[in-house]
Chains A and B, each alone.
Chain A
Amino acid sequence: MNVMSPQRPKLTAKDYTSDQEVRWCPGCGDYAIIKAVQRTLAELQVSKERTVFVSGIGCAARFPYYMETYGFHTIHGRAPAIATGVKLANPELDVWVVSGDGDCLSIGGNHTLHLLRRNVDLQLLLFNNEIYGLTKGQASPTSRPGTRSPSTPMGSVDSPVSAAQFALGSGARFVARSADILQKHLPVVLKRAHAHRGASFVEIFQNCIVYNDGAFRHFLEKGVAADAQVHVEHGEPLIFGKERNRGLRLRSGELALDVVTIGEDGVTEDDILKHDETNHTLATLLASMTPPTHPVALGVLYCDPAPTYEALVHDQVAAAKSKGGAADLDALLRRGHTWTVKPNGAAPAQ
């Protein structure tokens, strides 16, 4: 649908880049993400004119201005709702929503919930940096307890929300995770999200160099990454580690995942759980894993397609049209009971 005809010249990542000067802070993780998105669009050769980026408010929300596609920078938290309207009006458009942790999970949490449960066919990218950047560094709904910020000088006391668990709980049919610096992994995840029909939720761990630098160092930094991340692949064993000898095993008699080492305590590769991206319970377990006890699960945690919202809506319209006959305005006004008043004061006849 969105693949361009072969006659047109091949588009490069640059063709998806607008002429506007990018105004993110130097070193911001957003640069890496936009590069990955532009590369992905070029690899997929998506049509520029059919592509729409919708955003709310926040650093991430400036994204559409830098894309040479259609773009709508809207208001805080409402991008999912605006994008829903776009898809209802024209289901053919290829819509990406770009949001941050404050935009998507705080002021816009309600809309995110409903976008996901309705399964509107679009990609929702959540740039999670666990901080409010544009408003200068307040704690966000994903900030870890104790986060010191201008609004929480003694440390935040509220529990954070897990974006991926929230998405799974909301009924999302596609939940994936990646990170700004994973320049090989991220485009793969984006391609999967784009291919999925329905709401594709992608949480991207993104570094805010000014207000929350190194928030994800404990699992993204080179030295620890291999042991602190598990890259999930459908049908493949959940193995990770520098030596590729660590894995996840279902604890016997309990619904929990244990980290085990192949070759120790009689553990073999056959003991390692295989990833099933259609298993909602497994996805929830994977989404809830945090270091240091567990690795962070990255990749497509869950993918189980269902009919899209806009398709179901338009099916009903089509059904009504096929049943309703000629829907002309004169017939509309005459729905129900009408009667005629004759000239010269004659009594009305039905």
Chain B
Amino acid sequence: MTIDEVAEPEVSPAHREIESAVVRFAGDSGDGMQLTGSQFTLATALAGNDLATFPDFPAEIRAPAGTTYGVSAFQINFGARKIMTSGDQLDVLVAMNPAAFKTNIDDLKPGGVAFVDIGAFNEKNLRKAGYETDPLENGVADKYRVIKIDMSRLTLEAVKEHGLSQKEALRSKNMWALGLVYWMYGRKRRATVDWLSNKFAKRREISAANIAALNAGHAFGETAEMSAEVGRYEVPSAPIAPGEYRTITGTTGVAFGLIAGARFAGVDLTFCSYPITPASSVLHTLAGLKEYNVVTFQAEDEIAAVAAAIGASYAGNLGVTSSSGPGIALKAEAIGLAIAAEIPLVIINSQRAGPSTGMPTKTEQSDLYQAVFGRNADSPLPVISPNGVHDSFDMAIEAVRLATKYMTPVMLLTDGYIANASEPWRLPDLDSYERFPVSFRSEVEGFEPFMRDPQTLARPWVKPGTPELEHRIGGLERAAGSGHVSYDPDNHQAMTDARHAKIAGIANDIPLQAVDQGEATGDLVIVGWGSTYGAISRCVANLRDEGLSVSHVQIRHLWPLPANLGDLLRGFRHVTVAEMNTGQLLTLLRSEYLVPAEGLNKVTGKPFTIVEIEQAARRRLGVQQ
């Protein structure tokens, strides 16, 4: 059966119009919840809604089926207005087994809809989830609208004509569930059908079965008269800026940004990395883009990865390495070498919860100290962070610009949330981007390896292979100018000062800190960085609607900080720094500006909810809701 045999019904008057909705698909890690979520994301973007997503999955590749720690979930918030976060509370939960029900039901709004596959609610799965009695029967779910459907059986029936084994056939039940949710929100199935046909082009029976399951779930909504039970909703399209769009994850944004940045700099990209969650996907993405003259190198370890990137930059390419906190720790000594030898290098840290191995698939912003301070000796480097998925492309370009212009390593801090979440992204006009071509030194007259550009304080970049500019560099302290090994006391003072001044001077080459929302002075400013942007932004909008004097500042250049930031912060009675750590940006701001900032901190592995920030802001302002 193909999609053409199923009419795509238009949204009918039976649909109740709502402004936004939050849906979460939750199931076993083998149930394909991430794929389901990304398909719903695409269909929703195509329907013209704005949206934000939150993929949340376990570290185990195939955790024992049916366990709570094997639950994988994908949340999407979509609406007819600008969507800033993946949503605080769920309107709809799809739970594919008892474990998914158990770990997610508390996030459902009272009165919210839970679609539950009772085909998976057998004694064995209930026991694995740690239930002694069936939660669907013992009253704990009474405050929700639980819709019990034997999705497993209905899927098997829907796909039986395609001759799959029972195990293979059951793999389509995520598409069945997706079909039902598509029906509920009047989503079109075409893009998913196309995607399935393409993905399983070599196994037509698999694509046919998945499409059949999708259609069956959709038809179930129609024929079982679900409307009466759960209603059908229309989320009108959001006022989205016209233009060409795609969905993008932070990973893709960073990968594309690195390629674009290297083009703008006029250098080739050498990307060197070692697998680590959640950063590996940058390596995977770039490994598939070789036609863009990208060389990817899967090194033997984290140290080799950064070392090879430094070698590539030394030879005249842009070396980039990527990892997560524990891997960045291993790279620290080599980053110091790039600082000392003054070699361009981009280091991407997809932060995750720690310390040590911590929670590899859970998000956190706790590597800011590591980024700014985490090396031996006085070893400054610029640290920047995109304020969400949409900003990852631009900030990757910015990392390349700073690295090549200032001959320095640059740390780009993303996090697990930015890396994995997907959003619609308006394709930028590439002509509008500044070009920053590298000029490799080839002039012999007057050359010294550690002479400095008077404006940027950067030393010249010379490609080995350039005649008559043979010289030696290294990690030993070197004389200003000549670069010869030097233990001279005054020289070390001068070189340390020069390295410091070079990085500090970048503050004059980045935008002044803007106020994202609100006035430049007032009662309270909420300061954030990285992926907290959406939650803070929506919170501040809500509070401002109530007439409260609240502003929002989101810092993208974390080191050096923007030149006007201290004065800006001093213009507020209260400064609250919201971050997913125990107060790292807070410490930076207090030590740099001596402002009495206070922290709002959370380290649960999950992003801030809007309500959490609102409550903290109200407490600070002393107002009741």
A interface list, Cβ under 8 A from B: 18, 20, 48-50, 52, 54, 57, 64-65, 67-75, 78, 81-90, 92-93, 110-111, 113-114, 313-314, 316-317, 319-321, 323-325, 327, 329-330, 332-334, 336-343, 345, 347-348, 350
Contact = CB atoms under 8 A, between A and B. Distances in A.
B358 interface: no
Contact of A89 (B237, B270, B485): B270
Contact of A75 (B334, B430, B468, B471): B334
13 contacts: A49-B470, A50-B465, A64-B472, A82-B308, A85-B311, A89-B312, A89-B316, A111-B303, A319-B290, A337-B42, A340-B244, A341-B241, A347-B237
Contacts of B475: 57, 73-75
B547 interface: no
A69 B316 CA distance: 16
B245 A339 contact: yes
Given A85-B309, A88-B308, A111-B304, A314 B295 contact: yes
B600 interface: no
Nearest to B466: A49
Given A50-B464, A339-B45, A317 B295 contact: yes
B375 interface: no
B392 to A, nearest CB: 13
Given A71-B474, A81-B303, A340-B245, 7 more contacts: A70-B471, A73-B474, A78-B334, A111-B300, A327-B291, A333-B246, A341-B48
Given A49-B466, A85-B315, A337-B246, A64 B290 contact: no
B: contact size bracket: 35 or more
A332 B259 contact: yes
Interface string B188-204: 00010000000000000
B91 interface: no
Contact of A333 (B256, B263, B301, B337): B256
Contacts of A82: 307-308, 310-311, 314
Contacts of B300: 81, 110-111, 113-114
A332 B472 contact: no
Contacts of B465: 49-50, 70, 90, 92-93
Contacts of A78: 303-304, 307, 334
Q: Enumerate the 7 nearest inter-chain pairs by beta-carbon distance, A residue then B residue, closest first.
A: A85-B311, A324-B291, A73-B474, A85-B308, A81-B307, A320-B290, A89-B315
Contacts of B310: 74, 82, 85
B242 interface: yes
B333 interface: yes
B291 A321 contact: yes
B293 interface: yes
A65 to B, nearest CB: 5
Nearest to A110: B300
A26 B47 CA distance: 79
A73 B472 contact: yes
B454 interface: no
Interface in B314-347: 314-317, 319, 333-334, 336-337, 341
Nearest to B290: A320
Contacts, number: 221
Contacts of B464: 49-50, 52, 70, 86, 90, 93
A329 B259 contact: yes
Interface string B262-290: 01000010101000000000000000011
B164 interface: no
B474 A64 contact: yes
Contacts of B301: 110
A172 to B, nearest CB: 15
A337 B470 contact: no
Interface of B is mostly: mixed
A70 B241 CA distance: 52
Contact of A49 (B307, B467, B476): B467
Contact of A90 (B315, B428, B473, B485): B315
A313 B246 CA distance: 31
A81 B260 CA distance: 26
Given A75-B337, A90-B316, A333-B246, A85 B297 contact: yes
Given A85-B270, A332-B256, A341-B240, A72 B314 contact: yes
B232 to A, nearest CB: 18
A256 to B, nearest CB: 34
A75 to B, nearest CB: 5
A110 B312 contact: no
A262 B184 CA distance: 94
B81 to A, nearest CB: 13
A65 B299 CA distance: 28
Nearest to B272: A85
B246 to A, nearest CB: 5
B289 A332 contact: yes
Nearest to B247: A337
Interface hub of A57, A316, A337, A340 (most chain B Cβ within 10 A):
A337
B508 to A, nearest CB: 29
A85 B259 contact: no
A332 B303 contact: no
A57 B307 CA distance: 14
A178 B268 CA distance: 39
B492 interface: no
A88 B484 contact: no
A291 to B, nearest CB: 35
B472 A86 contact: no
A330 B246 CA distance: 13
A268 to B, nearest CB: 49
A48 B290 CA distance: 32
Given A69-B470, A334-B427, A20 B484 contact: yes
B454 to A, nearest CB: 26
Contacts of A87: 311, 315
A329 B304 contact: no
Nearest to B307: A81
Given A49-B467, A64-B472, A84 B304 contact: yes
B463 interface: yes
Contact of B317 (A67, A81, A89): A89
B243 interface: yes
B472 A348 contact: no
Interface hub of B42, B311, B314, B469 (most chain A Cβ within 10 A):
B311
Contacts of B119: none
Given A89-B316, A332-B256, A340-B243, A74 B337 contact: yes
Contacts of A347: 48, 237
B240 A88 contact: no
B181 to A, nearest CB: 20
A163 B470 CA distance: 32
Interface hub of A65, A88, A89, A325 (most chain B Cβ within 10 A):
A89
